[in-house]
Amino acid sequence: MCGVAGIFHAESPKPVDPARVERMCDAMVHRGPDGAGVWTDLGVGLGHRRLSIIDLEGSPQPMHSPDGRAAIVFNGEIYNFRELRRELEREGAKFRTSGDTEVILAAWQRWGLDCLEKLHGMFVFALYDLEKRQLLLARDRFGVKPLFLTRLSNGGLAFASELKGLLAHPQMRRRVNPQALEAYMTWGYVPDSHSILAGVEKLQAGHFLLVEQGKPVPAQRRWWDISFADRAKGSEADLSAELVHLMRDAVQSRMVSDVPLGAFLSGGVDSSSVVALMSEVSAEPVQTCSIGFDVAALDETSYAEQIAQKFGTVHEARTVASDDFGSIDTLAAMFDEPFADASALPTWRVCQLAREKVTVALSGDGADEAFAGYRRQVFHHNEERVRSLLPQGLREPLFGTLGRIWPKADWAPRPLRAKTTLLALAESGNAGYARGLSVTTPEARAQLFSPELSRALAGCRGEDELIRLMDQAPAQSGLDRAQYADLTFWMPGDILTKVDRTSMAVSLEAREPLLDHRLVEFAARLPEKLRVNGGTGKFLLKKCMERYLPQDILYRPKQGFVTPIADWLRGPLSGQARAIASSSVLARSGWFSPRAMADLAEAHISGRSDHSRVLWQLLMLEKSLANLEVTG
């Protein structure tokens, strides 16, 4: 796992200062503490920070092809590189190293852009073809690895694995993008279609950018997409057997490493499944780790210990105190952009624990999105049945009226928290799902934003982008569209961003076997009843793992990493919550209503309401913008 950076002068091939590329790379030294390299040629400069995983001594970067006609910097892992190498050798390719980086170079020279479809793995790379004077930037199917871009004033392009790498370039301006601010306040993260800084974009998942010297920088182009358009045929038993085979192959392919390897183990279905399949093929006990909390209601370590004992893993658990809020400034700096998923803190802690023993850790990420494991997906599936029974003309006055008058009872048992469900049922399925997925409603943001920010947004709503995405999804049903949104919008923007930044902060490579694209494509073709069955999500996945895992692991309620931010913001962080409305970067920005922010803080601190999520959003936004030193 590594960090990449570079500069490309597209319109006029003037020299690139190697010291400038080096500074961009050095801003990301945590991504690659084992080595560094810079290469420049007329109009192009490529830089690399290396975390050695495969071919520890033989694959320094930037790397050139044997004929010297192409150069590459690469972040990620190609899991089928040995198979591709054998195929390329049969066609005459020669190799000097035993790693995967050189295979990408040979694949480009043999197949051109078609090489992307052949690569199985997680990756971002920048490949310069000296003969064609072309720069190819490419990102993996799901966006496991990130890449930030900015178009320079001279018609060129700068890029880096993290925003802090771009900020080391002297032409970078630090002005906030209002649409990204709206998106962040909607979702709690900045989606891949935006960047918090104006003039910066992200290479989106499954996309590439091919730039040629002497020509303007074009738009990004998609090279892969997930489709729910077809349904698999076969019995439940046959599909279950195929699923186990795909999962086993995905896990085994991600266990190739020249450094110590282990797994995150939460005790949930997904990480337990990965550990079970790792144990099946490993000659040595699997190294596992988990994080617990000193609040019993948040702690799942007993389930992780149960799985560790069952499969004989070398397990280590650590308890995080409920007052573990002292590092939130460090956390904000880790992400550069504002990021308000509070589970980032325990994720960082488990990465720290894993790095004490291993350099590579497998996770269970991706299964909820691919197999419909989130409660919201199950609820949406059932809500769509209600929508199908009542026309929109009846649903809006019935459910909309009820939803508007229903109290917001965050304190009540879950079945009584009906406000969001009623409002969602009054809308179309796509609009309802967007409302349920958002952190703040359009109505709440309207009260929070200043008139100046509202004018700058000109009616732009964060939800609209997700609704359009779902409208255009290659899908047959509401459940398909919800999963498509989670896989292509929520997952790269939230889940994969969280894991990449927290793991790379401690120089740990995290691998996601349940995001093998063949596995996800199989899941997308499953009949709905094998994804959601009654109130059970991930139905087929759980059924096929019954031979490996106990019932209380497979069918207990999903919890996930939960951080007690509501208590923090009423207790030790109450002063910071109050300060947001007065002396903060946000108060001086003119984007928010100080009175509205103060009212939120006081209502939460007093216990009258739970505004912890939006206050945490505002707090992380404040810290991120202060760290970025924005100018407006």
Catalytic residue set = 2
CB atoms closer than 10 angstroms to residue 18? 15
User: CA-CA distance, 452 to 244, in Å (whole number)?
Assistant: 55
User: CA-CA distance, 164 to 333, in Å (whole number)?
Assistant: 9
Amino acid at the residue 110: R
**282: which 2 tokens?**
């490993």
Residue 148 burial (C-beta neighbours within 10 Å; 0-12, 13-18, 19+): buried
Query: How many angstroms from the chain centroid is the CA of residue 105?
Result: 27
Q: Read off φ and ψ for residue 158, nearest 5 degrees.
A: -120, 145
User: CA-CA distance, 343 to 498, in Å (whole number)?
Assistant: 8
**144: which 2 tokens?**
């496991």
| DSSP conformational letter for 166 | H
**192: which 2 tokens?**
């891949």
User: CA-CA distance, 605 to 583, in Å (whole number)?
Assistant: 18
- Following DSSP, what letter does each residue of 397-459 receive, concatenated? IIIIHHHHHS---TTS-GGG--HHHHHHHTS-HHHHHHHHH-SS-HHHHHHHB-HHHHHHHTT
Positive or negative CA dihedral for 442, 447, 450, 455?
Answer: positive
| DSSP conformational letter for 154 | T
**449: which 2 tokens?**
């934003």
For residue 208, give Cα distances in angstroms to 116, 167, 468. 9, 22, 22
For residue 145, give Cα distances in angstroms to 52, 367, 510. 16, 18, 10
Residue given tokens 């459910």 in the structure block:
399
- Following DSSP, what letter does each residue of 475-496 receive, concatenated? -SSHHHHHHHHIIIIIIIIIIH
Contacts 24+ apart (CB under 8 A), 123-126: 123/74, 123/75, 123/76, 123/77, 123/78, 124/4, 124/74, 124/75, 124/76, 124/161, 124/203, 125/4, 125/72, 125/73, 125/74, 125/75, 125/76, 126/4, 126/6, 126/46, 126/72, 126/73, 126/159
User: CA-CA distance, 157 to 128, in Å (whole number)?
Assistant: 13
Query: How many angstroms from the chain centroid is the CA of residue 506?
Result: 17
**14: which 2 tokens?**
């003037």
Amino acid at the residue 544: C
**Cα–Cα–Cα angle for 358, 363, 366, rounded to 5 degrees:** 155
| DSSP conformational letter for 176 | B
